[in-house]
Structure 1
Amino acid sequence: MGIVEKESLRKLWRFSGEWVSLGVVVLNPDTLSFNNMMNQLCENGLLAEAEKLYGEMDEKKVKPDEYTYGLLMDTCFKEGKIDEGAAYYKTMAESSLRPNLSLYNRLQDQLVKSGKLHDAKSFFGMMASKLKMDDEAYKFIMRAFKLRKEEREDDPQKLMDEKERLKAEAKARELEAEEAKKRSVVNNIASILPLKREEEKSEDDLG
């Protein structure tokens, strides 16, 4: 997005904020309204403005949801603000909201990739009883703990590379299984067609 367009978006956010305050256009801004505007800001590199809007939610007595925190967390990570992103996740986890496994995995990926293994361990302890961990999530964090115990601070990237490799292999297996299923369907149809033609021919002969 160009500088002019970004400035227009900033003005739109300010103008919207004034309208909300005055109750002229958006009389009862809800969570979805805030999320939509914050999403536009984050997508266009305006994290600071999105965070200001997030701060207004409490003033308007609007409660953030899992999407709100996930959006801010992911945007912080994209900008290299790992601690800030983790803080949003922590705020969400300590609220009445229930983060899903996908958000947790994205958090742990960033913490491990950044060498913040102590923080990764802390979040695992916080969420172990709140989330139903799958085997992949559990094994990943256990390997990260092993690196920390052995003081192998240079290996987190290798761990991330291994995780990406395993994900790629799993995806390839899924695609192969899907292709095999399609081939099976085609073969079944091909085997049925001659029989169908034979039946039709027999009916014609009888007729």
Structure 2
Amino acid sequence: MEMKGLLPSIVTYNSLLRKLCEAGQMKDANNLLNEMSDKKIEPDNVTCNTLINAYCKIGDMESAWKFRNKMLEGGLVQDQFTYKALIHGFCKTREMDKAKELLFETIS
């Protein structure tokens, strides 16, 4: 793409991130996120939710929560996909208090 003068957009990066996350290649996904940063392409909700969901699926709730915090610090807002991924992740890791807290946050 780039050799033909076409620059990747956030949609392109989100597609690549999704596939890397689905394949469990979190290190490569984070490298791609760094590349986005280098090119001044800001993550959007899709970017953040993709990574949060991937971390939740592998039970790495610490990384999922850290990324959620970065998402909020960047001015993005949690949506239904963010909550769903985090609630499922905390249930999976048997952190029921955190899951309940998030659930109540979604209905209030």
- Any conservation in 1 of the 2:61–2:89 contact (CA below 8 Å)? yes
| RMSD (Å), alpha carbons | 2.5
Q: Aligned pair 1:63/2:42, yes or no? A: yes
2:59–2:92 Cα contact (<8 Å) kept: no
TM score, norm. by length of structure 1: 0.44
Give the one of 73, 76, 83 matched to 1:94.
73
- What is the identity, as a one-letter code, of the residue corresponding to 1:77? C
Structure 1 unmatched ranges of 5 or more: 1-18, 139-207
Structure 2 unaligned segments of length 5 or more: list them. none
Identity of aligned residues (%): 24
Residue 58 of structure 2 is aligned to residue 79 of structure 1? yes
Higher relative contact order, chain-length normalized (CA < 8 Å, sep 6+): 2
The one-letter amino acid paired with 1:98 is: V
**TM-score where L is the length of structure 2:** 0.78
Cα–Cα, structure 1 residues 80 and 112, in superposed 2: closer, same or farther, change >3 Å?
Answer: closer
How many residue pairs were aligned?
104
